[in-house]
């Protein structure tokens, strides 16, 4: 089987796409409930899966991330995992510390995109659809199983009909807040680039607007312009799906990995902390310090200093001072006094 594929990446992609096809076959009741109007989205999703597997494999196979994933996975059932996952993936607590504006912006953008995906992908692959066995009542079918019945004019049905419209308004709000910040914030303006920072926002904005235009065309214009708007919307979605694994938006599907990283730091931090070789401050776990040294050695990067310690065995302030010493020849890193801005906020 290994010889049938050009690489591990090709094998992973092949099996994942096969699993999607099988899930679609079973969930749509033998392809009897596939919406051919969504065919383009399905093809775009397959390309996205290939790109994401490539990007994730290239990232996960690096020695540093490989260590964190393996050791973080072992700590997946820690008591704190549920709290960490909630703060990192649901409430975005870590962003709240940067200010309510950026928190609101990320909540609208993040949850707008996630909820849109939860609605769109099941519809595209036929994992979820609706039937009307009797007039005025819809049956919600998920993975080929009748899940619930809802009244066609009820609140639940209304939320089903307008789920993508609601998420479109969320995304538009988040994008507008992000664009405003990038136009007004001097640091953001200095660091941003069009293709990496602004293009993803513009793509999300176009997708959301064209999606709302489809609803407006059906409700208020009797379908006028619907074919053209539908093609524009589908084209923008497919381009975004293809671009997503390789651009800034990739951090949305990558975000769950932060739970592994925090579990790794917390677990080994509770066991034993590493003391700085100069000032004696406990700054990182012994396990993490050893892993950093091992990774550097694997990459043939040597930071063994003539003074008898490894650079990874110094805390950040002492490491900065040691670099200054290497440039100036003045051993300031041996000075026990703390830097004036060592505990500064911001």
One domain for residues 232 and 116:
yes
Strand partners, 274: 284
Cα 330 to Cα 116: distance, rounded to the nearest angstrom? 57
Residues 6+ apart with CB under 8 A from 161: none
Domain end call among 258, 286, 302: 258
Q: Rounded mean pLDDT of 305-334?
A: 78
Cα 48 to Cα 42: distance, rounded to the nearest angstrom? 10
The whole domain housing 153 covers 2-53+79-258
- Structure token digits, residue 149: 């019945």
pLDDT of residue 345: 47
Strand partners, 151: 137
Q: Are 257 and 55 in contact (CB under 8 A)?
A: no
Domain end call among 215, 234, 258: 258
Total domains in the chain come to 2
pLDDT tens-digit profile of 160-216?
989 999 999 999 999 999 999 999 988 888 888 888 899 999 999 999 999 999 999
DSSP codes of every residue in 136-200: TEEEEEETTEEEEEEETTSHHHHHHHTHHHHHHHHHHHHHHHHHHHHHH-HHHHHH--IIIIIHH
pLDDT of residue 331: 67
Whether residue 220 lies inside any domain: the answer is: yes
Q: Provide the CATH number for the domain around residue 229.
A: 1.20.950
In the numeric block, the tokens 């951090």 are attached to 251
Lowest-confidence segment of 8-17, 110-119, 280-289, 337-346 by average pLDDT: 337-346
What confidence tier does 295 reach under pLDDT thresholds 50, 70, 90?
A: confident
Cα 295 to Cα 68: distance, rounded to the nearest angstrom? 11
One domain for residues 237 and 297:
no
pLDDT tens-digit profile of 25-78?
988 888 888 888 888 899 999 999 999 998 998 888 888 888 888 888 888 888
One domain for residues 101 and 209:
yes
**CA 72 remoteness from chain centre:** 17
Domain end call among 258, 281, 306: 258
Whether residue 339 lies inside any domain: the answer is: no
One domain for residues 253 and 129:
yes
Any alpha helices (H) in the chain, and if so which ranges? 8-27, 39-60, 63-74, 81-85, 93-96, 100-124, 155-161, 163-184, 186-191, 199-220, 226-243, 251-254, 257-271, 286-298, 316-328
Q: Phi and psi dihedrals of 305, rounded to 5? A: -90, 155
One domain for residues 149 and 173:
yes
Percentage of the chain lying above the pLDDT 70 cut: 94
pLDDT of residue 334: 64
């Amino acid at each position: 089987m290994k010889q049938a594929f050009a690489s591990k990446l090709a094998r992973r992609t092949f099996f994942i796409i096969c699993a999607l096809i099988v899930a679609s076959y079973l969930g749509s009741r033998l392809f009897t409930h596939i919406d051919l109007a969504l065919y383009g989205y399905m093809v775009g999703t397959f390309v996205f899966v290939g790109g994401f597997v490539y990007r994730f494999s290239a990232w996960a196979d690096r020695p540093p991330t490989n260590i964190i994933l393996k050791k973080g996975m072992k700590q997946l059932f820690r008591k704190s995992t549920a709290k960490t996952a909630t703060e990192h993936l649901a409430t975005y607590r870590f962003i709240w510390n940067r200010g309510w504006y950026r928190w609101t912006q990320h909540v609208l953008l993040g949850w707008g995109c996630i909820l849109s995906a939860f609605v769109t992908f099941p519809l595209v692959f036929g994992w979820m659809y609706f039937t009307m066995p009797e007039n005025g009542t819809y049956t919600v079918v998920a993975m080929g199983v009748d899940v619930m019945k809802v009244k066609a004019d009820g609140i639940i049905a209304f939320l089903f009909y307008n789920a993508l419209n609601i998420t479109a308004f969320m995304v538009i709000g988040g994008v507008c807040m992000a664009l405003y910040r990038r136009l007004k914030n001097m640091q953001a303006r200095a660091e941003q680039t069009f293709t990496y920072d602004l293009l993803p926002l513009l793509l999300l904005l176009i997708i959301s607007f064209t999606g709302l235009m489809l609803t407006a065309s059906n409700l208020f214009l009797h379908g006028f312009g619907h074919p053209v708007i539908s093609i524009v919307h589908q084209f923008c979605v497919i381009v975004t799906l293809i671009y997503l694994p390789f651009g800034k938006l990739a951090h949305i599907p990558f975000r769950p990995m932060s739970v592994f990283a925090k579990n790794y730091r917390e677990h080994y931090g509770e066991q034993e902390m590493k003391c700085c070789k100069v000032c004696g401050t406990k700054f990182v776990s012994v396990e993490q310090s050893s892993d950093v040294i091992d990774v550097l050695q694997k990459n043939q990067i040597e930071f063994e200093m003539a003074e008898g310690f490894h650079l990874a065995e110094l805390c950040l302030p002492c490491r900065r001072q040691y670099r200054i010493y290497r440039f100036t020849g003045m051993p300031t890193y041996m000075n026990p006094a703390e830097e004036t801005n060592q505990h500064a906020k911001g």
